[in-house]
Structure 1
Amino acid sequence: MKQILVLNSGSSSIKYELFDMDAAGALESGLVERIGEGESRLKQTLPASTPKSPSQSRSIEVSVPDHRQGMDLIRRALSENASFAGGQYLVGIGHRAVHGGETFSGPTLIDDHLIRTMEELVPLAPLHHPANLIGMEVARSAFPEVPQVAVFDTAYHQTLPPHAYRYAVPQTWYQRYGMRRYGFHGTSHAYVAKQVARHLGRPLAELNTIVFHLGNGASATAIRGGVSVDTSMGLTPLEGLVMGTRCGDLDPAILIHMGKESGMSVDQMDGVLNMQSGLKGLCGANDMREVLSMESNGDQAAALAVEMFVYRIKKYLGAYHAVLGRLDAVAFTAGIGEHSPQIRARSCSDLETLGIAIDPVLNTAVEPPICEIQTSDSRVKVLVVSTDEEFEIAEQTLACVQS
């Protein structure tokens, strides 16, 4: 048996999942949250023992003053799982890392050089990198004999051609400050593209797909033959689609104008665009389920927010169709993409001239982990795919360790 442990370290949390790579299934998952906040908690889930039995979950209130204590708690939780067997089958630990800059284009073994390089990249991901680095530090200390791998959200998009990743700004901005499109949600887009090809029974290298990862954060990627050729997020996750609290595409002159007119500082505007914009800025709510409910009750602001959300999706769908030339499949994934028939239907409405048509019955009867929802005469396949970023990290970690 070969086991991979996947860790996602946040500023006040550590999410983990243990995989049996031979069986391609999860053995345990959990979350240590509110680290350093006095009311910490461990949430632990064991998968169902049979298809019809429920999963087993528990939640424990416990004091976790720092990430090192959080990792110790995870080790103790894993030790109670007979399948873990004291870690004797653990062949690697995969860490989610947000920003790899131009340095990291694939999964990379963690060593002191990688840590130093990630520290240099902190300005590109100031909220995420420090937490990622803490997780790596404590995991290396807790499991010193186990190879550990960093899997970067941006790595999948390092295949973008220069005409797609460069901005039309002075070249020195790119050379000196790294101002370019990096893209995010890469592990999700990579996983979904592979699942679409497997489901359709076609080689990934022959398939052109547009993937919409629609959650509180949202992004679109044009994938030609399994390779990302354009993506909606840019230097940061702020660009692109309308999101829960992020504005998406924006005229940069708005920031200059607001700075002059309102006196807001750069940090204040950054906070507004990332945390107070998007759906929340338009109608006061960032959960799409709540926004749709508000719309159904006649809230005009919510109706506008939904219309803007799906309109932006349509714009990217049309643009990426043109980029790819030939389009074989459109895939919806993540919280909204997987669970909102209304958003899927409205995003694909009136697109028959592009060969895209959704069957309303199939669209409301989605069965995970993957299913098709297009009409019988739709030239383009339309699929709903349950994403699994943790398993994608596990697969990339195993491949890196074995190579």
Structure 2
Amino acid sequence: MSGDSTVLVLNAGSSSLKYSLVDATSGKAFGSGLVERIGEGSGSLHHEGPAGRHEEDRSVDSHEDALRLALQAFEEHGPSLDDAGLIAVGHRVVHGGDRFSEPALVDDGLLATVEELVPLAPLHNPANLEGMRVALRLFPDVPHVAVFDTAFHQTLPPHAYTYAVPREWAEEHHIRRYGFHGTSVSFVVGRAAEMLGKPVEECRFVVMHLGNGASVTAVDGGCSVETSMGFTPLEGLVMGTRSGDVDPALPGHLNRHLGWDVVDVDRALNRDSGLKGLCGSNDFRTLLQKRAEGDEGADLAFDVYCHRLRKYVGSYYAVLGTVDALVFTGGVGEKSPEVRAAALAGLERLGIEVDEERNAAQSSAARDVATDDAEVRVLVVPTDEEWEIARQAAALAR
């Protein structure tokens, strides 16, 4: 391990702690793991180190217990953190509001600001805060850096982030488009520019992060200029359990005719909709299997998913005026040739044409699946958010 580029990356969820020891220069993960079911009475640890995979079930009462368990796993199963020469601890923080457009050193002021932003991300920011506070206690002599999912989208112009709602909503309650998946988009934009052999400042991309959560971002010169997720991650594409775009009058209709309150509607649109609502499963692999077996619900879900994606590709092409490459990333974006082909079918007039053989080839490498003479390249770029967090944390710590 290099003594001048090793970062411990932490991602604290409400009941989980994901961690990785990363070389910020090469992206190599020396060790990583996940502590699950924190505070639920029956936790578990999954650790990957030089000696292989280690798993154990044990009660984990708090995030502090979880991090101590992770540190014990490093000590017993490697690699040794004492020999790592940590230069920083990098923290994933979901929501930075309009306060953070760059990574920031974690101090009392930052913690207070992130706490103020809890109403914007009540399910995520409290866990992120707890992770930072615990790590500060256990690593008091190492710089801690917060990397925000929303930061990349702080370059959105006012006409893109402003909703057409009463102005006091924005001024008093911070109602605006924020966007998410920014850390992933930032990483793949850099890789895509390298693949084209051009400076990122000269590139225009439409980036599709497709996983259980999904978003599209228009990137001009390395800057986000439009993105599909909005005030929350619910807006935009059809996702695993999220509906994406629906008529804003729908909650009122459900309240009047079914007696549903705001909590009922919010739960349904976030947890019981999307692919799960259409075909019974939010797992894209299950959807494809059902579709292959002739399941009509799965077939419709696939068509709805790809139709929505195609609409966004076309609209973001219009926003940018010209596009150098479409970039697919995330679990579905990287692994589903069916989605890539269906979402881009019929767009030849826009210079977009997928090579059937290249697209169908199974590979985990970054690759171009467009035809040789296509004007717009179609890139598949595996994302690495841990590496991106490590790079940003190392740069600031240095």
TM-score tier after normalising by the smaller chain length? over 0.9
Asked if 1:198 is matched to 2:194, the reply is yes
Q: Is residue 275 from structure 1 mapped to residue 275 from structure 2 by the alignment?
A: no
Whether 2:371 is the aligned partner of 1:375: answer: yes
- Out of 1, 5, 8, the position equivalent to 1:5 is 8
2:224 aligns with 228
Per the alignment, residue 296 of structure 2 pairs with 300
State the shift of 1:83 in Å.
4.6
Moved more, 84-93 or 348-357: 84-93
Q: 1:245 aligns with which of 233, 241, 253?
A: 241
For 1:333 and 1:88, locate their aligned partners in 2 and report how far apart those are by CA, in whole Å: 30
- What amino acid is aligned across from residue 267 of structure 2 in structure 1? G
Correspondence list, 1:333-352, <5 A: 333-352=329-348
- Where in structure 2 are the equivalents of 1:113-152 lying within 5 Å? 113-152=109-148
Deviation digits for residues 242-277 of structure 1 (CA, Å, limit 9, x no counterpart): 001000011101111111111111011100000000
Contact persistence 1:366–1:384 (CA under 8 A)? no
> Structure 1, residues 304-349: CA drift from partner, whole Å, max 9, x if none?
1110100011000000001111100001111100111111110111
Is 1:265 aligned to 2:261, yes or no? yes
1:102 aligns with 2:98: yes
CA distance in 1 between counterparts of 2:269 and 2:225 reads: 27
Task: Provide closer, same or farther for how the CA distance between residues 351 and 140 of structure 1 changes in structure 2, counting only shifts above 3 A.
Answer: same
Q: Does 1:171 align with 2:174?
A: no
Q: Measure the CA separation in 1 of the matches of 2:83 and 2:311.
A: 48
User: For residue 326 of structure 2, what is the amino acid of its counterpart?
Assistant: V
Alpha-carbon distance in 1 for matches of 2:312, 2:178: 17
Aligned to 2:22: 19
Q: What is the one-letter code of the residue matched to 1:26?
A: A
- Whether the 8 Å contact between 2:22 and 2:386 is mirrored in structure 1 is no
Contact 2:25 2:391 in 1 (8 A): no
Which amino acid in 1 is paired with 2:41? G
Q: SS in structure 2 opposite 1:84?
A: coil
* Alpha-carbon contact 1:246-1:274 (below 8 Å) kept: yes
Aligned to 1:184: 180
Instruction: Report the Cα distance in structure 2 between the residues aligned to 1:237 and 1:210, rounded to whole angstroms.
Output: 18
Task: After TM superposition, give the deviation of residue 201 of structure 1 in Å.
Answer: 1.2
SS at match of 1:250: coil
Partner secondary structure for residue 140 of structure 1: helix
Q: Helix, strand or coil: the match of 1:353?
A: helix
Aligned to 1:93: 89
| Residue number in structure 1 paired with 2:46 | 43
**d(CA) in 2 for partners of 1:383 and 1:377?**
14
Task: Tell me the secondary structure at the aligned position of residue 82 of structure 2.
Answer: helix
Contact 2:24 2:387 in 1 (8 A): no
Task: Select 1:111's aligned residue among 107, 124, 137.
Answer: 107
Show CA shifts across 1:35-76 (max 9, x none).
1222211101136xxxxxxx8212112221111111111111
* Counterpart residue number, 2:36: 33
Counterparts of 1:261 and 1:343, CA distance in 2: 36
What residue identity is the alignment partner of 1:260? Answer: R
For 1:246 and 1:87, the matched residues in 2 are separated by 43
Q: 2:101 & 2:74 partners in 1: Cα distance? A: 31
1:336-372 C-alpha deviation (Å, 9 max, x unpaired): 0011111111011111001001111101114223001
The equivalent of 2:74 in structure 1 is 78
Question: Could you tell me which residue of structure 2 aligns to residue 285 of structure 1?
Answer: 281
Contact 2:88 2:393 (8 Å CA) reproduced: yes
Query: How many angstroms apart in 2 are the aligned matches of 1:40 and 1:201?
Result: 46
User: Residue 209 of structure 1: SS of its match in structure 2?
Assistant: strand
Distance 1:347 1:215 in 2: 15
What is the deviation of 1:87? 5.5
User: Alpha carbons of 1:134 and 1:85: their partners in 2 closer, same or farther (altered >3 Å)?
Assistant: closer
**Aligned residues of 1:191 and 1:389 also touching (Cα < 8 A):** yes
Pick from 383, 386, 392: which aligns with 1:387?
383
CA deviation vs aligned residue, 1:105-139 (integer Å, no higher than 9, x gap):
11011111111111111110000111111101110
Q: What residue identity is the alignment partner of 1:176? A: E
Q: Deviations over 1:217-257 (max 9, x none)?
A: 00000000111100000000000000010000111011111
Report the Cα distance in structure 2 between the residues aligned to 1:109 and 1:271, rounded to whole angstroms: 35
Percent of pairs identical after alignment? Answer: 52
Asked if the contact 2:31/2:78 (under 8 Å) is kept, the reply is no
Query: Do the aligned partners of 2:238 and 2:305 also contact (CA within 8 Å) in 1?
Result: yes
1:34 CA drift (Å): 1.1
CA distance, structure 2, for counterparts of residue 74 and residue 170 of structure 1:
48
Match of 1:157 in 2: 153
Distance 1:361 1:210 in 2: 23
Alignment size in residue pairs? 395
Match status 1:326 vs 2:322: yes
Please say if residues 49 and 78 of structure 2, whose CA atoms lie closer than 8 Å, have aligned partners that are also in contact. no
